Amino acid sequence: MAIGTNIHTYFEGTWHKGDVPILHAADHGTWQGTNVFDGARYFEGVAPDLDAHCARVNRSAEALMLVPDKTPEEIVAIVREGLALFPKDSAVYIRPMYWATGGDASGIVPSPEGTGFAVCLEEVPLAPASASVRLGTTRFRRPTLDNAVVSAKAGCLYPNNARMLMEARAKGFDNALVADALGNVAETATANVFMVRDGEVLTPIANGTFLAGITRSRHMKNLAADGMPVREAVLTFEDFRQADEVFLTGNMSKLTPVTEFDGTPYLIGPVARRARERYWDWAHSADSAST
């Protein structure tokens, strides 16, 4: 399902206009869910951390026992070739993908000889700087590495995120603040989360139950360089109820302030504003290796 417009797809060595078919009915990735992807962004003529996203999709593939057939550098080059098909002022969602085409005799284990690859580029507008979200709770939790491949950005993990979102929306919220297996805050259904309390910036410690995102890491580096180091910590829902600010980070929107968590209101504060401003400054600077 397309989430944007003006789609271009790289498949079998060339670029195609539109949302072209890439999977077969008997592909392992179709019926066993052995598929991974990553998401990067192109906007205002820059593609921040593109190299990091292209490296992570290979790590995700390996976590699902797939054998990547492209180097991160090759994927970057393919993406940049595709971005040239768009106007420079476009906002593009960049999605490299791998999936297993074959499996062993059981049909369960993917075959190392069969790995499909594609890149999908879609025009998807960035959320406006004024956008914000309200968070609710959900009974669904993040899995752990012993029962799911949480070290990968894998399609098979997303039905759990979907039911988190649907439960939160049924309660009148936009997104869900999600716990790990121990009941501590991990992230939201769609993004990493930060809070500010008494001037200190905090984020849940990366404990292996969620992807500590590339954009999360970039914001942490930018804030530290700006004199506001972020402390990773074990955080509870009560900690978030006592926060002065809460904001989300992720590739799709980069930074989104939170104005409520389950009845607790927040103002859009100075740290969120500064973090967003600092990210845009970095993305357009000579320090951005992916500009």
pLDDT, tens only, 167-216: 999 999 999 999 999 999 999 999 999 999 999 999 999 999 999 999 99
Q: In a 3-state reduction of DSSP, which class is residue 269?
A: coil
Q: How far apart are CA 266 and CA 223, in angstroms?
A: 20
pLDDT the model gives residue 291: 38
- How many Å separate Cα 291 from the centre of its chain? 19
Q: Which residues pair with 40 in a beta bridge?
A: 94
Q: In a 3-state reduction of DSSP, which class is residue 217?
A: helix
Residues 6+ apart with CB under 8 A from 21: none
pLDDT the model gives residue 287: 56
Asked whether 38 and 49 are in contact (CB, 8 A), the reply is: no
* 91 shares its domain with 182: no
pTM exceeds 0.75, yes or no: yes
- Please report, for residues 109, 178, 204, the alpha-carbon distance to residue 290 in angstroms, rounded to integers and kept in the order given: 36, 31, 27
Asked whether 57 and 99 are in contact (CB, 8 A), the reply is: no
Q: How far apart are CA 59 and CA 72, in angstroms?
A: 10
Q: How far apart are CA 111 and CA 100, in angstroms?
A: 7
- Residue 252 placed within a domain: yes
Alpha helices in 37-157 (DSSP H): 50-63, 72-83
- Say whether pLDDT at 166 is over 50: yes
pLDDT (average), residues 99-125:
93
Q: Which of 96, 123, 150 lies at the terminal end of a domain, its last residue?
A: 123
Q: How many helices (H) and strands (E) does the chain have?
A: 7, 15
pLDDT (average), residues 48-56:
97
- Say whether pLDDT at 289 is over 50: no
**Count of domains forming the chain:** 2
Provide the domain limits for residue 215. 133-283
pLDDT-derived band at 107, boundaries 50, 70, 90? confident
* 116 shares its domain with 22: yes
- Please report, for residues 3, 73, 142, the alpha-carbon distance to residue 49 in angstroms, rounded to integers and kept in the order given: 22, 13, 26
Cα first-last separation, the chain: 29
pLDDT the model gives residue 112: 84
Q: Which of 123, 156, 171 lies at the terminal end of a domain, its last residue?
A: 123
Q: CATH number of the domain that 70 lies in?
A: 3.30.470.10
pLDDT the model gives residue 125: 95
Q: How far apart are CA 288 and CA 11, in angstroms?
A: 29
Q: Which of 60, 54, 73 is nearest to 119 (CA)?
A: 54
- Residue 288 placed within a domain: no
Q: Which of 105, 114, 103, 116 is nearest to 32 (CA)?
A: 103
Q: In a 3-state reduction of DSSP, which class is residue 175?
A: strand
